Amino acid sequence: MADAHPSIGGIPLAFGGNVFGWTIDRDQSFVVLDALYEAGVRTIDSAEGYSAWVPGNKGGESETILGEWMESRGVRKDMLIGTKTGMGGPPGALKPENVAKALEGSLDRLRTDYVDLYYAHRDDLTTPLDEVVSAYDEAFRSGKARELGASNYTAGRLAEIVATAERMGAQPYTVMQPKYNLVWRQEFEGPLQDLCVAKGIAALPYYGLASGFLTGKYRKAADWEGISRALALSEFADNGGWDMLAVMDEISAETGAPLSRIALAWLTAQPAIAAPLASATTLEQLDDLVQAVSLELTPEQISRLDNAGRP
């Protein structure tokens, strides 16, 4: 995996940098990043759009904090940094001129002359695939992006763009970020996962902890009343979530591991998954993430989790 995917390097865990400038400020972000580095985590995921949804923000806050931290610590060469353009899938976002401009902006905020992994954040249905492929191929051949990835693509569209790159002799997407966890399997399992396995595309799933639902923090709908993630949590709960928590509680009793570790250990065991992508805002949460990669579930435990919550 490390040889095929230099931007990943055989990592057990990728850290989601969407929290920087959102749920944690610059100072706490530095605390978390220092702890990540000390724990040996080197792969950080960001995006130009993080965190434009926060009142007063305009996007780029996550990249800016990450860039300032890397520069202040002198650790850029040690890190594997991924970022994205096209959040929300606006028309024309992946046109060559827009991709080139976005990449330059990201490099400036990250205070570096290359990123290890550059994604299309969402599919752009308005730009011809030949143009999208050319845009990312140029990013790769210029040395400004060492590997290319796609996020939130359907199996059909990912297959189309991989075939287009092959036809053009261009660098293809070789990493995929799907929304995938124990209570949200329908988008990845099946044709998309099969395509990733067949083409050697490494998957780094986001929402690995289902917005915190799979940590066991929320045990009834009233627990998330009034919080910003209420809608997502309700969706996860209604998708077999309560049955899943019951099985996870059983496995937690058997292993002594908290639910968050169980959720990420299950992800790691799935076909095509290179590493789970997860975030933390405190050192305690971060310790759980780091420890999760050392938990190995038995085949019987994995089977119980596979079957939990299904009709």
| 46 pLDDT tier (thresholds 50, 70, 90) | very high
- Is residue 100 within 8 Å of residue 43, measured between CB atoms? no
Q: How far apart are CA 160 and CA 22, in angstroms?
A: 35
**191-199 and 155-168 helices cross at what angle (nearest 10)?**
30
Residue 25 maps to a domain: yes
Alpha helices in 39-179 (DSSP H): 61-73, 96-110, 129-141, 155-168
Taking alpha carbons only, the member of 129, 121, 179, 172 closest to residue 150 is: 121
Q: What percent of the chain has pLDDT over 70?
A: 96
Q: How far apart are CA 141 and CA 243, in angstroms?
A: 48
Q: How far apart are CA 293 and CA 93, in angstroms?
A: 35
| 1 pLDDT tier (thresholds 50, 70, 90) | very low
The model's pLDDT over 181-214, given as tens digits with 9 standing for 90+, comes to 999 999 999 999 999 999 999 999 999 999 999 9
| 286 pLDDT tier (thresholds 50, 70, 90) | very high
Residue 196 maps to a domain: no
**How is the chain split among helix, strand and coil, in percent rounded to 5?**
50, 10, 40
List the CATH number of the domain containing 25: 3.20.20.100
Whether residue 106 is predicted with pLDDT greater than 60 in this model: the reply is yes
The residue with greater pLDDT, 214 or 292, is: 214
Which pLDDT score is estimated for 6?
A: 66
Whether residue 284 is predicted with pLDDT greater than 80 in this model: the reply is yes
Which pLDDT score is estimated for 291?
A: 86
Residue 254 maps to a domain: no
Residue 101 maps to a domain: yes
Beta-bridge partners for 115: 145
| 9 pLDDT tier (thresholds 50, 70, 90) | low
Residue 111 lies in domain: 14-177
Segment 141-153 shows an average pLDDT of: 98
Q: How far apart are CA 311 and CA 307, in angstroms?
A: 9
Whether residue 79 is predicted with pLDDT greater than 80 in this model: the reply is yes
Residue 306 maps to a domain: no
Whether residue 8 is predicted with pLDDT greater than 80 in this model: the reply is no
| 7 pLDDT tier (thresholds 50, 70, 90) | low
Query: What residue type is 118 in one-letter code?
Result: Y
The HSE-up count of residue 60 (CA atoms within 13 Å, CB side) is: 12
pTM of the model: 0.93
Residue 139 maps to a domain: yes
Taking alpha carbons only, the member of 256, 279, 258, 269 closest to residue 304 is: 269
Instruction: Indicate the range of 12-21, 41-50, 301-310 predicted with least confidence.
Output: 301-310
Segment 54-58 shows an average pLDDT of: 94
Residue 94 maps to a domain: yes
Residue 188 maps to a domain: no
Q: How many domains does the chain have?
A: 1
- Is residue 115 within 8 Å of residue 149, measured between CB atoms? no
The model's pLDDT over 114-139, given as tens digits with 9 standing for 90+, comes to 999 999 999 999 999 999 999 999 99
Calculate the average pLDDT of the chain: 94
Segment 12-30 shows an average pLDDT of: 95
Q: How far apart are CA 139 and CA 265, in angstroms?
A: 34
**Token match 């985590």: residue?**
41
